Amino acid sequence: MGLDPIDANFQLATGAFIATSKTGEVLEARDLYVTNCGVPVADYNLVFLKRPGYKVQAALDRAACYFEGRSLPYRVSVRADQADACRRVASERGFVERAPVPGMRLSPLPAIPDAPAGLEVRLVADPETLADFQKTAFEGFGLPTAAAPLFITEDFVALPDVALFVGYVDGRPACTSALIATAGVAGVYWVATREEHRSRGYGAAITWEAVRAGRDRGCHLASLQASDMGRPVYERMGFVRDREYARFDSPKPG
């Protein structure tokens, strides 16, 4: 069974982000799509099962060989409604199941509302706006900002179906979003707002900018994976929860 366009966007977007980083790599095989960020952060060392109910033992053997040989933790991601076989095998191997991540979609794409007064949105198109995106996105996600240039790179920005946006308030970066467009799907990623600028509508506005860019590229729907903080914002925008992604973290060594 092939991936549907939304699931494919999630997988390919993660691969694009990691493949253009300065530390990572991507491995694709018949049954696996693996992203390795090069550091011990399981959130970005992902194993996507292409055929979740087929030869799961062999697929997880290959994933274990790859990541354990590099002494890196990793996470297996699979659609929750296709996860039964993976859940059984992962449990037998000592994986820890995490709370699922909701996948949300917006279709059809509506008219895009104007941004709140005082918010200026800029496309990342030069080193200065890229640096603002790097710092603001990593800060918003609680990641070490010093590492941001290693992962959000000029090569990532240069991909033809990628667009990054920074929202500025009083000339200072306040929020970010990214579009990764594939097969008619506007995948929205890296939505982050600095803490002092939250609850002012900026998160929704910067998300709308990515949706707008996707529509301009011919996309007919938008998709994203929602955090607990972001989900109410997206629901107010009209996104609906139509799937979940089950997550299984690799057992700790020893």
Give percent above pLDDT 90 in the chain.
94
Q: With 0-12 CB in 10 A as exposed, 13-18 as middle and 19+ as buried, what is 142? A: exposed
Q: Name, in order, each residue with C-beta under 8 angstroms of 244's C-beta and a sequence gap of 6 or more.
A: 79, 80, 81, 100, 101, 102, 103
CATH of span 119-219: 3.40.630.30
Q: What is the pLDDT of residue 254?
A: 53
Distances in whole angstroms, Cα of residue 191 to Cα of each of 6, 105, 207: 18, 15, 7
Q: Give domain limits for the chain.
A: 5-101+244-249, 119-219
Does pLDDT of 1 surpass 50? no
Give percent above pLDDT 70 in the chain.
98
pLDDT digits (tens, 9 = 90+) for 119-133: 999 999 999 999 999
CA-CA distance, 63 to 65, in Å (whole number)? 5
Contact present, 63 and 251 (Cβ < 8 Å) = no
pTM value? 0.95
Q: What is the pLDDT of residue 54?
A: 83
Between 216 and 51, where is the model more confident? 216
Q: What is the pLDDT of residue 11?
A: 95
Does pLDDT of 53 surpass 50? yes
Distances in whole angstroms, Cα of residue 234 to Cα of each of 5, 102, 166, 191, 218: 20, 11, 18, 11, 21
Q: What is the pLDDT of residue 186?
A: 98
Round the average pLDDT of the chain to a whole number and report it: 95
Cα angle value 145/19/143 (rounded, 5°) = 20
